[in-house]
């Protein structure tokens, strides 16, 4: 994967599992959206799994899903710590996935999920992510993406503007993305917007459905 929300990791427990406090705050609102859209799904690919915290929470709450984690190789050991501790039957071994050099994966995922990744990637990496999706997804697959977005070229809050400035100070290639530009990438990948759900802390959970081969 690309750099992810794992930028907020802290070594937290006696097992030295990576820990992102934000996941504990946003997991229930996201789960509400996933229950609505993933009720009839079977095989989910999470892109940019970060710490692995979202994976164990969602896989436990949605046991009908096989929840496949993935991220850049350096993040996989931390994900394994969470998966091994949870010992859930529906969380396979995490996959190494970097959009800059994506592996060949089977197109059998009927859902893809990603949280807090687009603003951490560079814009060319965001473009590569969406270009990669058709090769991973079944014909009617869903893509659900959580994070902050701009609308009409404007920040949705003062806190998001401050967050964007902090991101760019850390790496000028980072930043909150304009939803119109992201939706254009989704359209080019054969995805149609089906829901833009408001989330706490000025975030969104946006869901697209694959409607055509790209």
Helices assigned H by DSSP within the chain: 21-37, 53-61, 76-86, 123-136, 158-170, 179-188
Q: Residue 3 pLDDT > 50, yes or no?
A: no
Q: Which CATH architecture has domain 5-210?
A: 3-Layer(aba) Sandwich (3.40)
Token pair, residue 31, equals 């789960």
How far is Cα 209 from Cα 144, in angstroms, rounded to an integer? 9
CA 90 to chain centre: 18
Quote the pLDDT of residue 10.
39
| 2-6, 40-44, 56-60: least confidently modelled range | 2-6
Percent with pLDDT over 70 in the chain: 92
> What's the whole-number mean pLDDT along residues 49-67?
97
The pLDDT tens digits for 128-179 are 999 999 999 999 999 999 999 999 999 999 999 999 999 999 999 999 999 9
Q: Which of 202, 172, 200, 206 is nearest to 28 (CA)?
A: 200
Quote the pLDDT of residue 11.
38
Task: With cut-offs at 50, 70 and 90, classify the pLDDT of residue 22.
Answer: confident
Task: With cut-offs at 50, 70 and 90, classify the pLDDT of residue 9.
Answer: very low
Give the CB-side neighbour count of residue 20, counting CA atoms within 13 A. 23
For the chain, state the CA radius of gyration.
Answer: 16
**CB-based contact 107:135 (threshold 8 Å):** yes
Quote the pLDDT of residue 24.
79
**Domain range list for the chain:** 5-210
| 7-11, 50-54, 62-66, 194-198: least confidently modelled range | 7-11
How far is Cα 193 from Cα 208, in angstroms, rounded to an integer? 4
The pLDDT tens digits for 85-115 are 999 999 999 999 999 988 888 778 999 999 9
């Amino acid at each position: 994967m690309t750099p992810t929300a794992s930028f907020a990791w802290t070594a937290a427990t006696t097992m030295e599992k990576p820990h992102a406090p934000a996941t504990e705050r946003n997991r229930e609102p996201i789960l509400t959206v996933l229950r609505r859209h993933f009720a009839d799904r079977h095989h989910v690919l999470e892109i940019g799994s970060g710490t692995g915290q979202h994976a164990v929470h969602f896989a436990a709450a949605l046991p009908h899903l096989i929840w496949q984690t993935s991220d850049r190789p350096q993040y996989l050991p931390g994900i394994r710590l969470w998966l091994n501790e949870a010992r859930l039957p529906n969380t396979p071994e995490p996959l190494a996935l970097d959009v800059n050099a994506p592996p060949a994966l089977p197109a059998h995922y009927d859902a893809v999920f990603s949280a807090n990744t687009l603003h951490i990637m560079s814009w060319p990496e965001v473009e590569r992510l969406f270009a990669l999706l058709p090769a991973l997804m079944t014909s009617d697959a869903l893509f659900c993406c959580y994070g902050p977005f701009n609308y009409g070229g404007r920040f949705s809050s003062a806190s998001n503007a401050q967050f964007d400035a902090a991101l760019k100070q850390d790496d000028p290639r980072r930043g909150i993305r304009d939803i119109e530009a992201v939706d254009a990438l989704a359209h080019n990948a054969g995805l149609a917007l089906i829901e833009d759900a408001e989330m706490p802390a000025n975030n969104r959970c946006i869901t697209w459905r694959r409607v055509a081969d790209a």
